[in-house]
Amino acid sequence: MTTVSRRVSLHAVVTLAVVVGAVCLGRRHWPVIETGAGRLAVADRGWLLVAAVATAATWVCSALAQQGAVTRPLPARQLVAVQFAASAANHVLPAGLGAGAVNLRFLTRCGLPVVRSATALGVKATAGAVSRGLLIAVLALACPGLLRVPHMSATAVAIVLTVAVTVAVLLRGPLRRALRAVLADVRAVHEVPARAAALWGGSLAFAALHATVVVAVAQALELPRPPAQVALAYLAASSAAVLLPTPGGIGSLDAALAVALTLAGAPGSAAASVVLGYRLLTVWLPLIPGLLALAVLARRKVL
């Protein structure tokens, strides 16, 4: 068998495996999909349209932030398609590994070295975390008393600090090299104003649009809470869910968001409906098309 034939066969196997995996995921979680669809069927269509548009815009903003993290121009259409596919892959592997692997493969296919591609992902992730923190700070000031820092005992704080210091000491060489590489790329990006604007604008818009999806779903379901409180509850819950790295935050983000909305004063059943609606729009509806897009991009050797 020639090399070309082996590659074609491999791509065909990958495509079939992705399709089968998508179908299995859909069947496994069908009760969640069906329940969410039933609740949204009687919701306000206008607000649901706003939520759907905001969901689609998150992929464009993710592409904008990724372009801003590198100085080399990337193919725009392929970059957006890759973000759509990466969002689906992110719901299969934990802690953003799926999206990271897809974007890393795309960047290397575009000619960037592996190390430079990895640091570009680090730059994007750092900008995303800072942007989310800024939005939380602004909304916390707008909604005083809503966000409460959980109490931690002195023993727990000591344990966390000890673990952090131990990791830093044991990995001081690799951590220093990784930090140096990220800082070098950050400086290079900020030497080009257009790239810096894309990085920070895309990162801020990405976090804000996800919060907008939750707010729009809450409005569609007539959740009796102000939009700013709903947005703050989502941003705080999504930040806390990072501590439990489940695929796409499924389970951890759901529970954290439901609790956050309830603590903000929303009825328990209404909070659950908002979580289901948010998940339906951002996960279950785009999941199978996203995985199919992933297979097509792999077959066309974009990935």
3-class secondary structure per residue, 214-256: HHHHHHHCCCCCCHHHHHHHHHHHHHHHCCCCCECCCCHHHHH
- 17 occurs within a structural domain: no
Low-confidence ranges of the chain (pLDDT < 50): 1, 4, 7-8, 11
- 219 occurs within a structural domain: yes
Distance of CA 285 to the CA centre of its chain: 16
Helical residues (DSSP H) of 29-153, grouped into ranges: 30-40, 45-68, 76-89, 97-109, 114-142
- 22 occurs within a structural domain: no
Task: Specify the amino acid at residue 81.
Answer: A
Task: Specify the amino acid at residue 191.
Answer: E
Nearest to 126 by CA among 183, 83, 210, 67: 183
Quote the pLDDT of residue 175: 63
Quote the pLDDT of residue 79: 94
- Give me the residue label for tokens 């409005």: 219
Q: Token digits for 240?
A: 């806390």
- Residue 68, φ and ψ in degrees, nearest 5: -70, -20
Nearest to 95 by CA among 116, 124, 125: 125
Instruction: Dump pLDDT digits (tens) for 54-104.
Output: 999 999 999 999 999 988 899 999 999 999 999 888 876 665 677 888 999
The number of domains in the chain is: 1
- 116 occurs within a structural domain: yes
Instruction: Dump pLDDT digits (tens) for 268-290.
Output: 777 888 888 898 899 888 988 99
Quote the pLDDT of residue 7: 47
- 78 occurs within a structural domain: yes
Q: Which domain range does residue 72 map to?
A: 32-299
- Concatenating the DSSP letter of every residue in 259-283 gives HHHHHTT--HHHHHHHHHHHHIIII
- 124 occurs within a structural domain: yes
pTM exceeds 0.85: no
- 16 occurs within a structural domain: no
- 4 occurs within a structural domain: no
- Concatenating the DSSP letter of every residue in 135-192 gives HHHHHHHHSTTT--PPP--HHHHHHHHHHHHHHHHHTHHHHHHHHHHHHHHHHHHHTS
